[in-house]
Chains A and B, each alone.
Chain A
């Protein structure tokens, strides 16, 4: 016998079948198109932004993110179930398309049939198994959503509709197959290639053929109706994400990671800065709100949300979406609330994990820009004072600018103004210049450089804040003033390499300054030290110690530097016990996003929570790579009352003790 089956068995292949079928499809597609055209009109209200360049890379992102579900897969459990369900449904979709191609085109017009023989056997088996996997995954997701009910998961009518439609489509599909097989395939070798259909056929085998045929044709039309209904409701329900989330993978930010748009302050026609209405944001920002699936991964990782602050990245996107698609004149700042806007530490945990390629951080910074540049508003007076201090003295601590290089006076390190012939320029940063605890880190770093025979220079009193905290707080004007000055000063000395001990300085010089025609190589100290160790220039005498390591947000998620610091720690003899939240899952110290300048008045303290996680490793040492983190941890061990159990250090400090 030939291994194949009659397509349109029992329902017929004449106009009475094809007419209504394609008629329904047309109606569904019209609904689909109208729905999306209406939404596209809303996206277009946003400001222009080019997200269609580098199409090769963008297509690759779609394949990886949407088809291969790489981002979805990052969270086991629900992510695994979604990916498996997606693939099963995708396989079923391809199967259906193959049937349509054969039955309504190749066979109809050319008499060509390819669904036969071994290919048909595999085709039949694959689709049957895909349907089975789909059912199980959908069942699992249903149990999760309606019985387990994970904390923070928002369930709406949409979700019920989706579960109903998908279940109904899969179950009717199997029943149709079972009814057909009960009549045509029971007792043939073909039945084994459709195991699920075979099982159902066995259950139905007691019925008369006429009844089975009635059941089959009835279910066939119901199944068709459900499938068409599914297509039609995509733009009007959360099914929308099939299109928008996939499209967002194409439209995603191609980097550099986390780099903000630089406002053109020279343009005197600009009367408004930042965003206080939805249409001040880009079209991509509005599109993002449509790509959100409420998976809550961002909220689960947000350190502000975890410490009871009024910020949830997911809620923020939802609120923006509601404004975009209902009352577009509403004030973003009032709806989202200033407290939520100021609570963000720009740690990027939300954006990094988002399987829908949504960009949360830049939206928050755009709203902060509006508050600062248009209203002169800050999260507190202390922040305004820090801004003013920076304007006057070039550092948010308010220390006299002329004493910026004092920490290095007895180390044989000179400012470039006195000796510009150096191997590297050490861009010290405000904290390592003025804060006693962090001066110790700067001095350790110099010790290491000198041990490796590297000639280091600093800018001394010519150095000012890189502008990072001010920029993240929304003060683009002050940031640009500082950035332009620093670019001019550094370029004036013609240095080739800059090393930083602050990841915020690193990120700013390395990425943000590129907009000011700045192309000097910038290296974070942990990477620089790793290179010195690897090349043999820095001989280290390892001395065993136990520690845990905190990935700072700006070295980690913002710059993907996870291995270099760990390698340096191991070179020093460190045995790292990782905290549960490490690498890309690291938990912010609370000082990013300019929050180093602000008091943490809402909710509980982020640094105490992080220090507790470190203390729980029982290692006694918390190593990090960032002056803000170190400052927050020194404060956190007191707040958490673990001063006896845990001491925070910079990696450079433990390394300097081992040369």
Chain B
């Protein structure tokens, strides 16, 4: 069985974000980088499939500047077999269709049985790349999976729907699955696997969108405007209630 896992390196969300000079994305200075959270579920699920079927080959793919190899190494340390780095220093400027085109370009002649991706990235959050890859490859996609069962070629997943309900979907390979929080708990790499990961194949290939160009442009990127801050009422409970009613009457229409 051949499995592809697409991952993205994203800034830690606790970082101090600043807007970059072009005003179209965040500045890369002073950021700490890590694997996109949803992609960690993808990597973990792929490794679990391999542990189940034994005979599986896991390729982990990441697009970006040279520093993303650190994140690929983390996936290799967790248990992926080989890494592919699509070198693209400007990947942050790419629109979802371009990213999807690069992945599909790499995957189209490799006959992957399953492609796992995160359901979205933590920084851009478009949630489009996975489904676009499936479309370009002409295979089915099931998004936001929170449960996965594999049995001899048949796959049964649970999708997370609105309002907490879930949908059970069965599918066959080849298929692309995008992974959501709750699917699994990603493992912590063991030291022997970290050591082994250093010797695993890590291939760097040129970025190639196969002629698919961007269809949209980021006009501007900015922090939300600071609106009036919250109001903290203090004092006696009875007074507080009066104050609150006063405010609700004056500033809102809920009591009108």
List chain A positions with a Cβ less than 8 A from chain B: 265, 268, 271, 273, 372-376, 378, 381, 384, 387-388, 391-394, 398-403, 461, 476-477
Contacts and interface: CB of A to CB of B under 8 A. Distances in A.
B14 interface: yes
Contacts of B192: 271, 273, 373-374
A465 to B, nearest CB: 13
Interface stretch (B99-107, B145-153, B183-191, B216-224): B183-191
Nearest to A268: B195
Across the A-B interface, the 3 shortest Cβ-Cβ residue pairs: A402-B30, A376-B188, A373-B191
Interface string B169-181: 0000000000000
Nearest to B29: A402
A398 B14 CA distance: 7
Given A401-B15, A401-B30, 20 more contacts: A265-B191, A273-B192, A373-B192, A374-B190, A374-B192, A375-B190, A376-B189, A384-B188, A391-B34, A392-B12, A392-B33, A393-B14, A393-B32, A398-B12, A400-B14, A402-B15, A402-B30, A402-B32, A461-B30, A476-B191
B32 A477 contact: no
A213 B34 CA distance: 91
15 contacts: A273-B192, A373-B190, A373-B192, A374-B192, A376-B187, A391-B34, A392-B12, A392-B32, A393-B12, A393-B14, A394-B32, A398-B14, A400-B30, A400-B32, A402-B32
Contact of B16 (A372, A394, A400): A400
B155 interface: no
B1 interface: no
B127 interface: no
B194 interface: yes
Contacts of A392: 12, 32-34
A403 B16 contact: yes
Contacts of B185: 381
Contacts of B194: 477
Given A381-B185, A402-B30, A461-B30, A374 B15 contact: no
Nearest to B31: A402
Contacts of A376: 187-190
A16 to B, nearest CB: 69
B188 A387 contact: yes
A268 B195 CA distance: 8
B12 A400 contact: yes
Contacts of B34: 388, 391-392
Contacts of B187: 376
Nearest to A384: B188
Nearest to B193: A376
A378 to B, nearest CB: 7
Contact of A378 (B30, B188, B189, B190): B188
Interface in B159-216: 185, 187-192, 194-195
Nearest to A373: B191
Contacts of A477: 191, 194
A231 B116 CA distance: 71
B14 to A, nearest CB: 4
Contacts of A476: 191
A274 to B, nearest CB: 9
Contacts of A391: 34
Given A392-B12, A393-B14, A401 B32 contact: yes
A387 B188 CA distance: 9
Contacts of B189: 376
Interface in B226-254: none
B10 to A, nearest CB: 11
Contacts of A403: 16
A379 to B, nearest CB: 12
A375 B12 CA distance: 26
Contacts of A273: 191-192
A271 B12 CA distance: 32
Contacts, number: 54
A391 B73 CA distance: 13
A151 to B, nearest CB: 40
Contacts of A399: 14
A277 B16 CA distance: 46
Contacts of A402: 15-16, 30-32
Contacts of B15: 400-402
Contacts of B191: 265, 273, 373-374, 476-477
Nearest to A406: B16
Contacts of B33: 392
A360 B159 CA distance: 49
A387 B34 CA distance: 13
Nearest to B40: A388
A477 B191 CA distance: 7
A403 B31 CA distance: 10
Nearest to B190: A376
A402 B18 CA distance: 12
A61 B191 CA distance: 38
B85 to A, nearest CB: 20
Contacts of A394: 32
Nearest to B34: A392
Nearest to A377: B188
Nearest to A402: B30
A374 to B, nearest CB: 6
A561 to B, nearest CB: 34
Contacts of B16: 400, 402-403
Nearest to A378: B188
A383 to B, nearest CB: 10
A461 B185 CA distance: 30
Interface in B13-33: 14-16, 30-33
Contacts of A461: 30
Contacts of A393: 12, 14, 32
A265 B192 CA distance: 10
Nearest to B199: A268
Interface in B107-152: none
A460 to B, nearest CB: 11
A400 B11 CA distance: 10
Contacts of A271: 192
A10 B233 CA distance: 101
A375 B187 CA distance: 9
Interface in B32-53: 32-34
A388 B71 CA distance: 13
A394 B32 CA distance: 9
Contacts of B30: 400-402, 461
A59 to B, nearest CB: 39
A401 B32 CA distance: 7
A391 B192 CA distance: 18
Nearest to B14: A400
Query: Which among A372, A374, A392, A393 has the greatest number of chain B C-beta atoms within 10 A?
Result: A392
A144 B101 CA distance: 81
B177 to A, nearest CB: 24
A456 B179 CA distance: 49
A394 B30 CA distance: 13
A105 to B, nearest CB: 61
B195 to A, nearest CB: 7
B223 to A, nearest CB: 16
B78 to A, nearest CB: 9
Contacts of A373: 190-192
Contacts of A401: 15, 30, 32
A548 to B, nearest CB: 33
Nearest to A476: B191
Query: Which among B14, B185, B192, B195 has the greatest number of chain A C-beta atoms within 10 A?
Result: B14
Query: Which among B31, B192, B194 has the greatest number of chain A C-beta atoms within 10 A?
Result: B192
Nearest to A397: B14
Nearest to B33: A392
A56 B150 CA distance: 66
Contacts of A381: 185
A477 to B, nearest CB: 5
A557 B195 CA distance: 36
A360 to B, nearest CB: 24
B77 to A, nearest CB: 10
A433 B192 CA distance: 33
